[in-house]
Amino acid sequence: MTITVLGIETSCDETAAAVVRANGNSKPEILSNIVRSQWEAHAPFAGVVPEIAARAHVDVLDTIIADAMKEAGVAYDDLDAVAATAGPGLIGGLIVGLVTGKALACAIRKPLIAINHLEGHALTARLVSGTVFPYVLLLVSGGHTQILLVEDVGRYRRLGTTIDDALGEAFDKVAKLLGLGFPGGPAVERAAMRGDPKRFDLPRPLLKRERPDFSLAGLKTAARNAAESCEPLSEQDVADICAGFQAAVTDVVESRMRRALALLEEEHVRPTAIVAAGGVAANMAIRESLEDLAKGTGLMLVLPPQALCSDNAAMIAWAGIERFRRGDIGDPDAPARPRWPLDDRAEPVLGSGKAGAKA
């Protein structure tokens, strides 16, 4: 059975549309995947401004969808469904994308599938490599830092989460502190390449915590203290702070992932793979650390290409296909939801779901 879905993504500061096709058991095809970034509009504020983001989505979304359809070479009648991000994220942007998706689905008389943005990230491994359930997911982005066991479509168990800042948020704030601009993650990574990671003794929070949780606020404060200790900052000072911060983050990520795997082993759960997703999963130091972890555990490592780590609509279209296959086409009146946990059974934790926080 061939399924073709148009995906729409507007949860934060990227406007995206994509067409993905699945044909039986063969590898899915990304027929188009167009992303329009808003970095230049938000750069003067060193973070995402919700009102600016929503207006930018309104200005370009229709064009992005038309371009995605043209590049894919399909007509609207060829679609089986429209999938749009309904949350979590910035409410203004979510409304723009979801309402557009509903209107389009109604006009072409196709079902509208409301997608959890985090589920899009969680299922990307199946889009790129057909990863079999269950697998362990490190979800790291501007608004989320979690470790989850992905048991099936719609079945996610949170093993660990941040208790304060998300990892991408911490990268952005360190970049802002050091005057590196926005987006912060790539800027810190570039500067770290020129730095000495051992010059500053930065902490590795929660390494001994029984549950594989994260805490980034103290590490961020330590980076600020390091910067203040050597003002005025030279380029080498900035590079060394970035290198030390990135090294600390990498150690924390590896430690927390090891702990999550140990907990699953105690439960006699054998995952098929380690998967990383979200914008921060594009960081090469973190990817190399996960490669070492996978080799040591004998598990397959799935790292989606960088274009599918950051926010994109191909993952939304694919999540729509996964849902469509199961006959779960959702509620055409689904609301936009600024908060929408993947594991709604997990105990709420302060900092675990600050959707859209990038500044």
Shared-domain flag, residues 194 and 57: no
Domain count, the chain: 2
Query: Is residue 348 assigned to a domain?
Result: no
Identify whether residues 256 and 173 lie together within a single domain: yes
pLDDT band at 55 (very low <50, low <70, confident <90, very high): very high
Q: Are residues 144 and 58 in the same domain?
A: no
In a domain, 198, yes or no: yes
Q: Is there a contact between 336 and 91 (Cβ–Cβ < 8 Å)?
A: yes
Shared-domain flag, residues 182 and 108: no
Q: How many CA atoms lie within 13 A of 142 on its CB side?
A: 24
Looking at the fold, whether 186 and 83 belong to one and the same domain comes out as no
Q: How far apart are CA 65 and CA 100, in angstroms?
A: 10
Mean pLDDT over the full length of the chain:
93
pLDDT interval class at 38 (50, 70, 90): confident
Report the range of poorest mean pLDDT among 13-27, 59-73, 77-91.
Answer: 13-27
Within-domain flag for 280:
yes
**Same-domain status, 272 and 143:** yes
Q: Do residues 299 and 313 both lie within one domain?
A: no
Give the phi and the psi of residue 45 in degrees, each rounded to 5: -105, 0
Confidence (pLDDT) at 37 = 86
Confidence band (pLDDT; 50, 70, 90) for 159? very high
pLDDT of residue 358: 36
Cβ atoms of residues 220 and 171 within 8 Å: no
Q: Regarding predicted confidence, which is higher, 144 or 127?
A: 127
Reply yes or no on whether the pLDDT at 65 is more than 80: yes
Q: Is residue 38 part of a domain?
A: yes
Question: What pLDDT sits at residue 24?
Answer: 81
Residues spanned by the domain of 169:
133-305
Q: Are 169 and 143 a contacting pair, CB within 8 Å?
A: yes
Asked if the model's pLDDT at residue 230 lies above 50, the reply is yes
> Is 188 part of a structural domain of the chain?
yes
Q: Which CATH number do you get for residue 315? A: 3.30.420.40
Give the global pTM: 0.93
